[in-house]
Amino acid sequence: MKWYNLLTWQCTLNKDLALQAKKHRRCLGWNFWHVDKKGRKRRVDDDDEGETSSCVHGKDNNVVGLYSAIFCHGANNLVKTGKLWHNGIACNCCGMLFSPTWCHKHKPTASIFLEDGRSLLDCQKQALNSQQNLSPHQNDSICAVCNYGGGELVLCDGCPSLFHLNCLGLEHVPDGDWFCTTCVAKYANNLDAHKTKLKIWIKEVNRLLLLCSEFQHIYNIYITNALIQMETEKSNISKAEEFKLLANEAFNARKYNQAIDLYTQAIELNSQNAVYFSNRAFAHLRLEEYGSAIQDATSAIEIDPKYSKGYYRRGAAHLGLGKFKEALKDFQQVKKMCPNDPDATKKLKECEKAVMKLKFEEAIAAPESERRSIAESIDFHTIDVEPQYSGARIDGDVVTLDFVEKMMEDFKNQKFLHKRYAFQIVLQTREMLQALPSLVDIHVPDGKHFTVCGDVHGQYYDLLNIFELNGLPSEDNPYLFNGDFVDRGSFSLEVILTLFAFKCMSPSAIYLARGNHESKSMNKIYGFEGEVRSKLNETFVELFAEVFCCLPLAHVINEKIFIVHGGLFSVDGVKLSDIRSINRFCEPPEEGLMCEILWSDPQPLPGRGPSKRGVGLSFGADVTKRFLQENNLDLVVRSHEVKDEGYEIEHDGKLITVFSAPNYCDQMGNKGAFIRFEAPDLKPNIVTFSAVPHPDVKPMAYANNFLRMFS
């Protein structure tokens, strides 16, 4: 194939190269001539005043006619032709529009080289010097299938290709219009409607291209590949919609993890659809994966800044993290985009109230150094118990099993405990917790067992079911409840008072670890603060916040099993002694060891990654393995995540997640689980269970008003 053919192919099929490879005429010393109707030639020089306008628009003043032939003469008399158009001179070989002035200044081919070191300009010169004549015919002279000429050839009515009848599998020349497979593919969906357009388009291509057989073959391949790519893109979009519909079904069935996987497949096929990202953000919200929800909502906004649901989802995720000010900005944007939407107006007003309340609380809050312990100001002995009170009573200062069982039965029947006894239980628990280290060592004698439970989240009736299945806490049947006792469920007060009462009855019968929901910020949003205020009073709100700061952060069973609520750390080399030395008597910080203990999650990939929650981090099996080796441990047990079966074994069997709130929030459909360890081998025996009925009080009944609007 001649080099000018190759250059034409490049400048026709590659737009980027086309901008660089308009190499014609003046850069090779070619001249432009105008030919009048009598055949007389006049040279068109770049120095002519008004040359461009006279050539392009000369129809009005009879300088030159529109569609007149323009000849480009080279030094060796090789003649190339073009045609005058409204907006320039169209080269017959490549169709590029140019002016003499532009061609004179543009010399890119001298800077474009081949692998053998020759520039494209050298190749052009070589082609010119070869003095090979181009065929004047508008069509190929050989079969596009077998590459041989001769015999009866069928001409495609859409392109310059010729074919032997035998090569096409035809017995006779088709009647009427006939198009080759390449042309049919171009307008496969509606060929009849495009026949005229196709003919005009292909004839223009014929006129503009150098029509050697080899180039035509390359050109056909390019067109075919382009069509395949277009069809692939259409197919991907269609498949993406199918995945989205399946994801929507999974979401409606409350299978949020499955929905996330399906939305992800849709995004992989079509990453420019804001709806897919917004829907996946919604599924992340349902799983309390606020960090991932913010990322997806932000992606939706970047794809379509006018998509209001992107701001809506991101605002809800910020709210879930207690970031009211950030949430307010997003809901202001929603209101701006949907000014007449009553739902958007309502949510914006609620968000504004939450921000104003937060600012007020910050303004009146005393400095940390000046704050007094609320517990030290309470003397429960001075509180009288009314004669008509028929609930559980504590005789003296000792909490007994009889009292606990009576209290549990009262709670089951939706009766309340008298404030005097509630104060007594909470204050005694605070005193015991204060004396414990941040990491508590537990010894299980040989032949004995120990039970670890995960999140309970205010699901009191499921807590009773655990005790029904596994027995009440005692010195011979000890438990560890691994954080997140409260919030979400609407019986959180009953749960925490029951656990605290067992702690008061027998400190070695039950161990309690802090979760991320044992904090002011979470309790304010997710219901515990509102529930305590409703069932008791404001003093108890402050008291529980103070006691939660006393909860230990981690436990180790027989120096082999490490138990925390969330997970491991952002750095290697963390030792158990580092955890013991953590000052836990505060609200959880937003970073550091304490934050990571409460918030981190395992991930399937090695290494570390950002947290899907927006707080803490994700850590892989290699991180778990190193931590266990460095501390001579065998297993990590953690909670913090809903699991369909109530538990999940990960990281090559070195990490177990246990979650003890079945059908979480009355909507997840998951099982609950607890783990029994038998000494001395401490092999985990996992017991799963389903949710039990509870009174008709919905989860989140006491949650922040604003949050309930999104639940």
Q: Residue holding tokens 């504590």?
A: 394
- Contacts of residue 201, Cβ cutoff 8 Å, sequence gap at least 6: none
SS3 562: strand
DSSP single-letter state for residue 441: E
Dist CA 226 CA 14 (whole Å): 12
Dist CA 257 CA 263 (whole Å): 10
- Contacts of residue 133, Cβ cutoff 8 Å, sequence gap at least 6: none
- Contacts of residue 224, Cβ cutoff 8 Å, sequence gap at least 6: 182, 185
Cβ atoms of 709 and 350 within 8 Å: the answer is yes
Distances (CA, A) of 297 to 5, 281, 590: 50, 6, 22
Dist CA 534 CA 702 (whole Å): 8
Measured torsion, CA atoms of residues 379, 524, 487, 676, in degrees rounded to the nearest 10: -70
- Contacts of residue 83, Cβ cutoff 8 Å, sequence gap at least 6: 67, 68, 69, 70, 89, 90, 92
Taking the mean position of all CA atoms in its chain, how far away is CA 28? 55
Cβ atoms of 90 and 49 within 8 Å: the answer is no
DSSP characters over 614-667: SSSEEE-HHHHHHHHHHTT--EEEE--S--TTSEEEETTTTEEEEB--TTGGGT
Dist CA 640 CA 567 (whole Å): 9
What beta strand segments (E) does 347-495 contain? 439-442, 449-453, 479-481
- Contacts of residue 593, Cβ cutoff 8 Å, sequence gap at least 6: 569, 574, 578, 579, 582
Residues forming beta bridges with residue 638, ordered by sequence position: 657
Dist CA 282 CA 288 (whole Å): 10
Dist CA 278 CA 252 (whole Å): 15
What value does the CA radius of gyration of the chain take, rounded to a whole number of Å?
39
- Contacts of residue 312, Cβ cutoff 8 Å, sequence gap at least 6: 330, 331, 334, 344
Please pick, among 24, 318, 457, 517, the residue that the annotation labels catalytic: 517
- Contacts of residue 154, Cβ cutoff 8 Å, sequence gap at least 6: 162, 163, 164, 165, 168, 170, 173, 174, 178
SS3 38: coil
Question: Does residue 517 have an active-site annotation?
Answer: yes
Cβ atoms of 496 and 544 within 8 Å: the answer is yes
DSSP characters over 362-385: HHHPPPGGGPPPSGGG--GGGPPP
Cβ atoms of 454 and 462 within 8 Å: the answer is no
Phi/psi at 98 (5° precision)? -145, 165
Q: Which residues are catalytic?
A: 517
